[in-house]
């Protein structure tokens, strides 16, 4: 830049009120334009010289500019600093903003300082706007992020709510169609599956089997130990039954101690019996609940589509009816439905009414089956068995009316009648056949626990002057609770009256050796089921022999029922069995026929004894 141009520019700056400082080669700084009022805020001026030398710069920003940027222009030969600097004192003191630039001459450097409040404010406003825009952008981005986070959080919450709702719906659906205690299907789901199976079987010309299953004597568990223990027994029993099934079978709990089983794609009777026996055997081992052992058993009724019914309601009803008959059948507790079982509820109600009427009209009667000492062939007594002859002469079998009577107090009334009739007959026969003659009567636990039956027993023993052991009560159902005092209490009561005690059907699945040992029974009756095949099959013989030995170790006397041949009689005699019953001797007889048989039997035995003596002679 020439000297003329510099002077012209300086002159222009002076007219515009812009301060011009000149830095010379000796690095001194001079003020070459008039000094305005505001300039002392930036620098200290030496007023002695003609051109006003700048002694010191007050602004650190300006001082740094002079020392760094201006000196850099000296060394680099740059003619103009195009990047101005902004000088601002403390805003709290209302200082004025300035803008400084540098211009290089040949032998000096001009520093132009301009008071630019408007430009500064515009720049500050722009900077502020930029900062605010950046802040707003940051806020918006934060808001968007927050909003996005909220949306994501809400979506997560919605997904969780949907999952929870679906889980709840699934749970409610499960509860609607399943039993809450066992988790098995309930009646509604079972009926639906049964309907589908019947429809499929109809198309394919196949069979469908329905089994109605009931836990025997379960009420005693609830009564003795409470429902919380009963629930655990139900759960364990359900689990065992379920393990016996195929994948295509379906088991349901109808309520209480009742279960139903649907078996599709099966038709052979032998296959159905295999399943029934497998279910029965699943409860051979005792159930453990709350530290107690429960020996449970089941009764099963079976009906088959399309032979027994054509729809689900009748199939279930027929299976239920067959189950009631199974409850009072010796041996394996399953029963196939038969048409003469009387399925309709009206028939059952009518039969109950007929039982009550039969008591009033004295249609019940007793038959007596002799008890024979097989070692000396002497008649030791008789067992009283209940029968029903209608007014028209029809004989109603016990399996038809006893199960119904056991469902109500009718069984207690019948028990009282049996006790009175048997004791009267016992007194008469003891007068005829001697003091060794005893009478066995059958009573259930329900009868024994009733006040009426107990009072009747006590009165008969006292009024008839019956000696100890002359009357024997055979308990027809054993308690399923091994450690329960139900059986013990009743046995102790009978002993207090000097009445002997016995149990029947020893050896079947309901028998608990632990309870029998502790009861102190007088007699054990071995079930006729175990006689099958002992004459020809060694395994059957060994099993029966083992049961006899076990029975002799548990009681004073062993009685075998169901003797039908001379060979069976000889076998049990060689096993040291003392007493027996069976058709080999005679079928159960009414009292007057019993007397006639006794005479003939006595005559026959005397004749045989005479022949034996002759042979020995």
3-state DSSP assignment of residue 522: coil
- pLDDT of 285 over the 80 cut: yes
Domains and CATH numbers, the chain: 3-115 (3.30.450), 187-336 (3.30.70.270), 356-616 (3.20.20.450)
pLDDT, position 493:
87
pLDDT reported for residue 512 = 57
Tell me how long the chain is: 617
Q: pLDDT tens-digit profile of 99-150? A: 788 887 777 888 888 777 666 666 667 767 777 777 777 777 777 777 777 7
d(CA 543, CA 548): 9
Segment 530-556 mean pLDDT: 86
Question: Are the beta carbons of 87 and 100 closer than 8 angstroms?
Answer: yes
pLDDT at 41 over 60: yes
pLDDT of amino acid 82: 54
Q: Band of the pLDDT at 509, cuts 50, 70, 90?
A: very low
How does pLDDT run across 154-208, given as a tens digit for each residue? 778 888 888 887 877 777 676 778 888 898 998 888 999 999 999 999 998 899 9
What is the C-alpha to C-alpha distance for residues 352 and 358, in angstroms, rounded to an integer? 10
How far is the C-alpha of 331 from the C-alpha of 532, rounded, in Å?
12
Q: Note the pLDDT of residue 483.
A: 39
Q: Which helix (H) or strand (E) holds 120?
A: helix 117-177
Q: Which residue has the higher pLDDT, 264 or 490?
A: 264
CB 189 within 8 A of CB 199: no
Q: Tokens for 85, please give them.
A: 């600097």
Average pLDDT over residues 553-574: 90
Average pLDDT value for the chain: 82
Contact 281, 182 (CB under 8 A): no
Q: Given pLDDT bands bounded at 50, 70 and 90, which one contains residue 219?
A: confident
What is the spatial distance between Cα 357 and Cα 364, in angstroms, rounded to a whole number? 10
* Res 523: pLDDT: 87
Q: What is the pTM of this model?
A: 0.54
Confidence bin at 70 (pLDDT 50/70/90): confident
Cα distance between residue 594 and residue 575, in whole Å:
28
Peptide bond into 471 cis (omega under 30): no
Half-sphere exposure (Cβ direction) of 152: Cα atoms closer than 13 Å? 6
Q: Which residues contact 185 (CB under 8 A, 6 or more apart)?
A: 177, 178, 179, 193, 250, 251, 252, 253
What integer is the mean pLDDT of 364-380?
94
As a whole number of angstroms, the distance between CA 580 and CA 373 comes to 7
Judge whether residue 16 has pLDDT over 70: no
348, pLDDT greater than 90: no
Q: Give residue 343's pLDDT.
A: 44
pLDDT at 479: 43
Q: What is the pLDDT of residue 433?
A: 92
The Cα–Cα gap between 156 and 343 comes to 59
Backbone angles phi, psi at 371, to 5 degrees: -110, 120
pLDDT digit string, tens, across residues 373-408: 999 999 999 999 999 998 888 888 887 788 788 878
**pLDDT confidence tier of residue 428, bands split at 50, 70 and 90:** very high
């Amino acid at each position: 830049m020439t000297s003329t141009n510099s002077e012209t520019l300086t002159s222009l700056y002076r007219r515009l009120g812009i301060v011009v400082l000149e830095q010379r080669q000796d690095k001194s700084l001079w003020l070459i334009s008039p000094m305005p009022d505001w300039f002392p805020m930036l620098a200290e001026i030496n007023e002695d010289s003609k051109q006003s030398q700048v002694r010191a710069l007050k602004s650190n920003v300006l001082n740094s500019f002079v020392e760094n940027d201006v000196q850099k222009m000296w060394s680099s030969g740059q003619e103009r600093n195009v990047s101005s600097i902004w000088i601002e004192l403390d805003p709290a003191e209302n200082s004025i903003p300035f803008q400084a630039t540098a211009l290089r001459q040949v032998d000096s450097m001009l520093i132009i300082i301009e008071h630019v409040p408007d430009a500064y404010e515009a720049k500050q406003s722009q900077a502020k706007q930029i900062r605010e825009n950046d802040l707003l952008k940051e806020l918006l981005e934060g808001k968007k992020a927050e909003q996005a986070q909220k949306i994501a959080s809400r979506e997560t919450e919605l997904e969780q709510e949907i999952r929870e709702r679906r889980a709840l719906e699934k749970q409610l659906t499960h509860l609607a169609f399943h039993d809450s205690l066992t988790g098995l299907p309930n009646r509604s789901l079972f009926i639906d599956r049964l309907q589908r199976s019947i429809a499929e079987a109809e198309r394919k010309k196949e069979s469908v089997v329905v089994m109605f299953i009931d836990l025997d004597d379960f009420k005693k568990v609830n009564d003795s130990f409470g429902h919380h223990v009963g629930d655990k027994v139900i759960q364990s029993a359900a689990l065992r039954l379920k393990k016996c099934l195929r994948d295509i079978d379906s088991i349901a709990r109808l309520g209480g101690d009742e279960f139903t089983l649907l078996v599709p794609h099966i038709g052979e009777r032998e296959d159905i019996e295999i399943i029934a026996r497998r279910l029965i055997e699943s409860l051979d081992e005792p159930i453990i609940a709350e530290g107690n052992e429960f020996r449970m058993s089941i009764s099963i009724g079976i009906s088959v589509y399309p032979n027994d019914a054509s729809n689900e309601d009748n199939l279930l009803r027929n299976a239920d009816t067959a189950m009631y008959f199974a409850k009072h059948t010796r041996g394996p507790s399953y029963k196939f439905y038969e048409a003469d079982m009387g399925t309709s509820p009206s028939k059952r109600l009518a039969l109950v009414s007929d039982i009550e009427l039969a008591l009033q009209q004295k249609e019940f009667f007793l038959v007596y089956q002799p008890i024979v000492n097989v070692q000396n062939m002497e008649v030791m007594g008789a067992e009283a068995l209940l029968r029903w002859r209608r007014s028209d002469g029809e004989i109603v079998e016990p399996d038809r009316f006893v199960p119904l009577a056991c469902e109500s107090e009718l069984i207690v009334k019948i028990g009282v009648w049996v006790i009175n009739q048997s004791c009267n007959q016992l007194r008469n026969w003891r007068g005829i056949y001697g003091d060794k003659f005893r009478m066995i009567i059958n009573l259930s636990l329900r009868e024994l626990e009733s006040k009426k039956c107990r009072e009747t027993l006590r009165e008969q023993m006292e009024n008839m002057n019956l000696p100890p052991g002359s009357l024997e009560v055979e308990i027809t159902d054993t308690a399923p609770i091994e450690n329960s005092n139900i059986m013990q209490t009743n046995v102790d009561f009978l002993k207090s009256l000097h009445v002997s005690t016995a149990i029947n059907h020893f050896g079947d699945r309901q028998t608990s050796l632990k309870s029998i040992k502790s009861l102190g029974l007088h007699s054990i009756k071995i079930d006729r089921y175990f006689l099958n095949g002992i004459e020809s099959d060694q395994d059957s013989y060994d099993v029966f022999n083992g049961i006899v030995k076990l029975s002799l170790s548990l009681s004073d006397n062993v009685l075998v029922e169901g003797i039908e041949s001379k060979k069976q009689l000889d076998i049990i005699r060689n096993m040291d069995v003392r007493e027996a019953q069976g058709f080999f001797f005679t079928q159960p007889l009414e009292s007057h026929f019993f007397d006639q048989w006794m005479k003939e039997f006595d005559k026959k035995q005397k004749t045989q004894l005479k022949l034996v003596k002759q042979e020995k002679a």
